[in-house]
Amino acid sequence: MEANLKLEKNQNEEAVDPTMFKQIVGCLRYLCNSRPDICFVVGLVSRFMEEPRKSHMNAARRVLRYIAGTLEFGILFPISARNAKPEIVCYSDADWCGDKIDRRSTTGYFFKFMNASISWCSRKQPVVALSSCEAEYIAGSYAACQALWIESVLKELKVDVERPIKLQIDNKSAINLAKNPVLHGRSKHIETRFHFLREQVNQGSLEVIHCATGSQIADAMTKSLKTDRFLSLRSSLGVFNLRN
Do 53 and 98 share a structural domain? no
Predicted confidence at residue 217, as pLDDT, reads 92
pLDDT digits (tens, 9 = 90+) for 139-155: 999 999 999 999 999 99
Do 87 and 196 share a structural domain? yes
pLDDT digits (tens, 9 = 90+) for 62-73: 999 999 999 999
In CATH, what number is assigned to the domain containing residue 85?
Answer: 3.30.420.10
Do 138 and 48 share a structural domain? no
Do 177 and 96 share a structural domain? yes
Query: Considering its fold, how many domains does the chain have in total?
Result: 2
Do 82 and 61 share a structural domain? no
Do 186 and 81 share a structural domain? yes
pLDDT over 60 at 226, yes or no = yes
Rounded distance, CA 212 to CA 125, Å?
Answer: 23
Mean pLDDT of 91-110: 89
pLDDT over 80 at 180, yes or no = no
| Distance set, CA 130 to CA 67, 92, 175, 196 (Å) | 36, 18, 17, 19
Is residue 5 in some structural domain?
no
Q: Crossing angle of helices 172-179/196-203, nearest 10°?
A: 70
Mean pLDDT of 208-221: 90
Do 189 and 173 share a structural domain? yes
Residue 15 φ/ψ, nearest 5 degrees: -80, 155
Lowest mean pLDDT among 88-92, 186-190, 216-220: 186-190
- State the Cα angle at 68 between 63 and 70, rounded to 5°: 95
Boundaries of domain holding 62 = 18-71
